[in-house]
Amino acid sequence: MAVDGSRIAGKVVIITGAASGIGLACARRFAAHGAKVVLADINEAEIDRLAKDFQDQGFSAIAVHCDVAQRFDVRNLVAQAIDSFARIDVLINNAAIIDSAPFLELAEEEFDRVIDTNLKGYFLTGQAVAKQMVAQLQAEKAADPDTPLQPGTIINISSVNAVFALPEHVAYSVSKGGVAQLTRAMALALAEHRIRVNAIGPGSIRSPMLEQVAEDDAIRATMLSQTPLGRFGEPDEIASIAVFLASEAASYITGQTIYADGGRLPLNDTIKTR
């Protein structure tokens, strides 16, 4: 999965859920390749701090407070990205939350909260960014019909739970199943504009969300016993796939989900968390 970093340099990348975990790893990886990063998260104080840290290191970065479930927040996110960097080349839909209740006890409000962020949020952000990408392509073509177009790329962070479900995390499992289908539908809808849409399906990655699920040593041991590679993944391992999918090395890949799960899906087993 060799990627020419020079082809990433200068690209404008929006990353939602950028304050920690996979989102932060993606921001760091893209910035290291010379991309201009837009850090979006509901944790305003943390992304402000991170953007300042990125800038101190010589990277181009801004922070935007954004609840992806709110369309006005999403509209503001796109507007601030354009105001700062004039275009958008890559979107990484990553912001996500998880429920934790048995199915018979899961409240409607909690189900809605998870779906609003994890699925509706991906739709709202993906649609808003795709409209901007299409406008950019049309402007480029109008300015010079012979100039090679620079289509955008959208990457949705999914999960192995798009394939198998967890009974104590029903809303999360449903949302990730929806992300898989949303990715396919978006890829087909945007193919005529040469905008590629793919997903990454992580397994157990060392992140704040893993800490919510793997509450004790027994659960973590069970997870590892059902992961053939015998270890948890690192956020940067997911970020490296995102860079690949955003690069021209993946120019003929769209509508796909790359599962990075340490071999769990081939094992085809679920994890009991309670």
Residue type, 11: K
101: left (phi over 0), alpha (psi -120 to 50) or beta: beta
* C-alpha–C-alpha distance, residues 250 and 191, integer Å: 14
**Active-site hit among 122, 172, 252, 259:** 172
Q: Dump strand ranges (E) for the chain.
A: 12-16, 36-41, 61-65, 90-93, 153-157, 196-202, 257-260
Structural contact between residues 247 and 3, judged by C-beta atoms closer than 8 angstroms: yes
What residues form DSSP beta bridges with 156?
93, 199
> Is 152 in a helix, a strand, or coil?
coil
Angle of helix 170-190 relative to helix 121-143, nearest 10 degrees, comes to 20
Q: Which residue has tokens 């993606």?
A: 26
Q: Which residue has tokens 């005529």?
A: 192
Could you confirm whether 172 is annotated as catalytic? yes
CB neighbours of residue 11 within 10 Å:
22
- How many Å is the Cα radius of gyration of the chain? 18
* Residues identified as active-site: 172
